[in-house]
Amino acid sequence: MNAIVNPTAKPVQASFPVRRMGFKFQDVPRYWAGNDAGITHFLTSLSVLFPEGEGFFVDSVRAVRNHPELLADQAMQKEISAFIGQEAMHSKEHEAFNASAKLYGYEVEKMERSTKTVITSITRLFQPFVKKEFIDLAGTCALEHFTATIAAQLLRRHDIQDLMQDPTMLQLWLWHAVEENEHKAVCYDVYQRIYGKNVATYAMRATAMAAAMVVLFFVQNYFMFRLMKQDGKAAPRHWLRAVRTLYGPKGFISQIIPELLDYFRPGFHPNDHDTVALLAKWTHQLGLNDPAYSPARKAA
């Protein structure tokens, strides 16, 4: 018996798009954030983490997308495909920026390799006890919460945006911030669909988050120190503005600590932190829903 096909039924679509970007970084100045080495290198040290980090996210989700709990769900498959597409584009664009930073003598390739080594080493610590797919997905959920929280903070903080004096870098970070919040729940939903909501899955994701908080803090600050040292600015006086901006009473990082820690709440879900209006504002303001969107045009 043939299945009945409804010719008027709309094909299943992901809830967010994959945008093809092509930023040009050849004219980015050395200190493109606040004309300050510390703030610039804080952001550059994050960028150095992204090619390998986002690649890890893609691999983690791709490894489980054919799980029986997901395979027949067309909507979830579309969300996974869009997640992979966005993350792959993030890796591509940050890798291009990182390559441009080499022109100033920064050893970003070594840092990217170190990032891969750290990711591999941390996941291997858990492999004698749990399956690799479980570890990788839990780690991705934790790190996605980091990136989405930092991204939402950037979209809210006009004072931080104002420091990004180079229009290309401003567009890069705002575009990335929007997309991190568009797909922030995909990996978490995949994790719960496969492994459920029980003590073991909570313990794994909470452990992954605790490990991520410690490792990210040390690795990112170590990379920042290396970049500062390569500029001859390792002395504490060169760090003062960045430390105040990031960790002061109203600092960029200080303000998001409660939101980061909310991940440890047993009933947590990424959509508990509502960014719908924030995304609507910025997708419109940046023209990201315009089919003719061009990074070069927006940066001009």
The alpha carbon of residue 256 and the mean position of all alpha carbons in its chain are separated, in whole angstroms, by 15
What is the DSSP-derived secondary structure letter of residue 9?
Answer: P
Residue 266 three-state SS? coil
Q: Shortest CA distance to 205 belongs to which of 135, 126, 111?
A: 135
Confidence label for 126 from pLDDT (cuts 50, 70 and 90): confident
Confidence label for 130 from pLDDT (cuts 50, 70 and 90): confident
pLDDT in tens, 154-171: 999 999 999 999 999 999
Residue 130 to residue 125: CA distance in whole angstroms: 10
pLDDT in tens, 132-159: 999 999 999 999 999 999 999 999 999 9
Q: Which residue has the tokens 């008027």?
A: 8
Q: Are 283 and 197 in contact (CB under 8 A)?
A: no
Confidence label for 124 from pLDDT (cuts 50, 70 and 90): confident
Instruction: Please report, for the chain, the start and end positions of each structural domain, with discontinuous segments joined by +.
Output: 37-299
Q: Are 170 and 161 in contact (CB under 8 A)?
A: yes
Residue 17 three-state SS? coil
The alpha carbon of residue 224 and the mean position of all alpha carbons in its chain are separated, in whole angstroms, by 18
- The CB-side HSE value for 189 (13 A sphere, CA atoms) comes to 16
E strand or H helix at 122, and its extent? helix 108-126
Q: Report the pLDDT averaged over residues 210-236.
A: 94
The pLDDT value given to residue 128: 80
Residue 113 three-state SS? helix
